[in-house]
A and B are shown apart, each in its own frame.
Chain A
Amino acid sequence: MSAAPIVVVRDLVKTFVARGAALRAVDGVSFDVRQGETLGLVGESGSGKSTTGRILVGLEAATSGSINLFGQEISSVRGRVTPAAVRRRLQFVFQDPQNSLNPRMRAQDAIAEPLDVTGGWSRIARDDRVRELLEMVGLPRSCGDRFPHEFSGGQRQRIGIARALALKPDFVICDEPVSSLDVSMQAQIVNLLLDLQERLGLSYLFIAHDLAVVRSISTRVAVMYAGGIVELAPKRELYTSPRHPYTQALLAAVPRITSNRARAAVITGELPSQIDTVPGCTFHPRCPFALERCRIEKPKLREIAPGHLAACHLHETPA
């Protein structure tokens, strides 16, 4: 049984223009997020993951494409703002907690800021909620009066998570929420996000680089490369039978603590330019299986098995 999608993104494009050059940060991205699921988003650094998330929450305007949130069409293109009622149901946990926390604001006020902005909280209820949130994310209840610089990097990230959860959102975009955390806290936060999801029916878009973490939290996983999704599949399938050569390279490059401490072959080759339009498959300069055709024709993202999508000329015949 697959629940109805609460987020529908189609053909999303974002172009940044700088000094006359246009940079395609997001280049035709489409996906759904269903009620209660987690869509993991992994991929190359600079491939447009954060930009996609930022467009969804309205921090950035799309160049073109459509977004439907909770059944409401949101024209994300410049000039149109997301209605407040929709915005509240959507929260964002930032990649960079240092940057998203005001250095002169105490932790408790940073966490309570969304409550203060919406209003309607008595002083006592607000303070209780803050302490509850602090505890939820594994910080001492008493540390609310400290300033961001008095916390370690990981502790600051927990404050960001507490803040995002303050308004009990339906959909949370987590942009590398655990990248700066140690393994133990990472595990605690992942478990916490899983518990909250179970309890509250939350949905997540979970952006991260750690493929093992993404496996542990996701329902389905999308892999991005150079502005586009190159593969999307239910997690088990993606990890056990990755079909796109980039996904395969990613999984092979994960450093491990056990046994085969010998390094996997490092893929080399030029990274794709995001400014010049390169014909063909964006991965072809680094792809060990590139065919002549890959240099000329851009592969489309298509279903190669039920629910399993890949954009690669090697997998053109549908199953």
Chain B
Amino acid sequence: MAEQPLLSVENLTVQFRGDAGWVNAVEGVDFAVGAGECLGIVGESGSGKSVSALSILKLHSPANTRYASGAIRYGDRDLLTLPQRRLRQVRGGEIAMIFQDPMSSLNPVLTIADQIMEPLRQHQGLSVQAARRKAIELLDMVRISDASRRIDDYPHRLSGGMRQRVMIAIAVACRPRLLIADEPTTALDVTIQSQILELLRELQREIGMSVILITHDLGVVAEFAQRVVVMYAGRVVETASVPALFERPMHPYTEGLIRAVPNLDEDVHRLTTIPGSIPDPSMSITGCRFSPRCREAVQSCLEKPPSLVDAGAGHLARCPPRIAAGGIS
């Protein structure tokens, strides 16, 4: 990424109020996405992907959330310090979000028509008729059949994958500069998924839209993203270009993730897992947060938290032993 990125998250720390005080859900997170680029974010459940993504538009409830450090640079602005009123103009217009959970983010008492037309009327000032026409077009684009009739349905009448596509239609309605997509295609069959990804690619080409794609589907990341951020226990543990990450993963955790992808081409008795589980954010671990699960842990790993180091060519990893060994085991 040679030029100035479209958006960069710098040293982001987000805390939630827990029983025993404030707990870091993500800590010191850095990543950036360039214009027209797609950045993938992967990592186990609970690693802080959604917390990071929701922070970009400050969508956490202010009552129990603290942005303890960091900045979200977008142009010459810092979205973390932008007044609510100005942030609202950015939200849904320039920066759109597809939420991980389509059911809870669609309003159950409004029809699909109401919900897609709303941003079109608000951000683009379309008339009711024009907005409705545009909304039907969008539903067609996300491959919903009988769009002109399904548009008057309420969300509960749609299948899971249809709701997900409605969310996508709402998000791209205003042709955003940045689309934050949190698990956008998990509920779709792969033929529709590839058509949706193709649609996003078109928007990238046409209007230079950037995408932050959060997904546990490493295949989708490999095919769609240019760069990848791997998160573990609230921190970025590795970041690299797609080919580098999949061909030469540096962090033992990334390797584990890649090995756990089930194989389409063979029958296995059991799938490969990463033993153990992700630590709760409230748990204190002195050294590397992956050390309790890492087969390669050495004494120094337990002593102090490792930092994210550039191993060359923009390939960063948070694993000193691997960096010292040149990255590959």
| B184-225 to A contact mask, C-beta < 8 Å, 1/0 | 001111111111001000000000000000001111111110
Number of chain B interface residues as a range: 35 or more
**In the complex where A98-B104, A152-B46 touch, is A267 in contact with B191 (Cβ < 8 A)?**
yes
Pick from B76-84, B114-122, B267-275, B300-308 the stretch touching chain A: B267-275
- Report if B149 contacts A (CB, 8 A): yes
Q: Which residues of A lie under 8 Å from residue B143 when comparing CB positions?
A: 271
- Report if B59 contacts A (CB, 8 A): no
Inter-subunit contact A182/B44 (CB<8 Å): yes
Inter-subunit contact B272/A187 (CB<8 Å): yes
State which residues 242-268 of B face A: CB under 8 Å: 246, 256-258, 260-265, 267-268
Q: Which residues of B lie under 8 Å from residue A213 when comparing CB positions?
A: 262
Secondary structure class of chain B's binding surface, majority of residues = loop
With the chains together, A27 CA to B165 CA distance in Å? 23
| A172-193 to B contact mask, C-beta < 8 Å, 1/0 | 0000100111111111101100
With the chains together, A25 CA to B13 CA distance in Å? 46
With the chains together, A46 CA to B191 CA distance in Å? 13
- By beta carbon, the residue of chain A nearest B266 is A215
State which residues 13-70 of A face B: CB under 8 Å: 16, 18-19, 21, 42-46, 50-51
- Report if B183 contacts A (CB, 8 A): yes
With the chains together, A274 CA to B191 CA distance in Å? 18
- By beta carbon, the residue of chain B nearest A45 is B161
State which residues 274-322 of B face A: CB under 8 Å: 274, 277, 280
Cβ distance B208 to chain A, nearest Cβ, rounded Å: 21
- Report if A155 contacts B (CB, 8 A): yes
**In the complex where A50-B160, A187-B272, A261-B223 touch, is A180 in contact with B262 (Cβ < 8 A)?**
no
With the chains together, A157 CA to B165 CA distance in Å? 21
- Report if A143 contacts B (CB, 8 A): yes
- By beta carbon, the residue of chain B nearest A265 is B194
Inter-subunit contact A250/B191 (CB<8 Å): yes
- Report if A138 contacts B (CB, 8 A): yes
With the chains together, A218 CA to B114 CA distance in Å? 41
Q: Which residues of B lie under 8 Å from residue A190 when comparing CB positions?
A: 262, 271
- Report if B124 contacts A (CB, 8 A): no
| B125-149 to A contact mask, C-beta < 8 Å, 1/0 | 0000000000000000001111001
With the chains together, A261 CA to B247 CA distance in Å? 12
Inter-subunit contact A18/B192 (CB<8 Å): no
- Report if B103 contacts A (CB, 8 A): yes
Inter-subunit contact A212/B262 (CB<8 Å): yes
With the chains together, A271 CA to B161 CA distance in Å? 14
Q: Which residues of A lie under 8 Å from residue B164 when comparing CB positions?
A: 45
Q: Can you spell out 17 A-B residue pairs with CB atoms less than 8 angstroms apart?
A: A46-B145, A46-B161, A96-B160, A98-B101, A98-B103, A152-B46, A153-B45, A155-B45, A182-B45, A182-B257, A183-B260, A186-B262, A249-B191, A253-B194, A254-B190, A255-B222, A255-B223
Residues of chain A whose beta carbon lies under 8 Å from any beta carbon of chain B: 16, 18-19, 21, 42-46, 50-51, 95-96, 98-99, 138, 140, 143, 151-155, 176, 179-188, 190-191, 194, 209-213, 215-216, 235-236, 239, 246, 249-251, 253-258, 261, 263-264, 266-268, 270-276
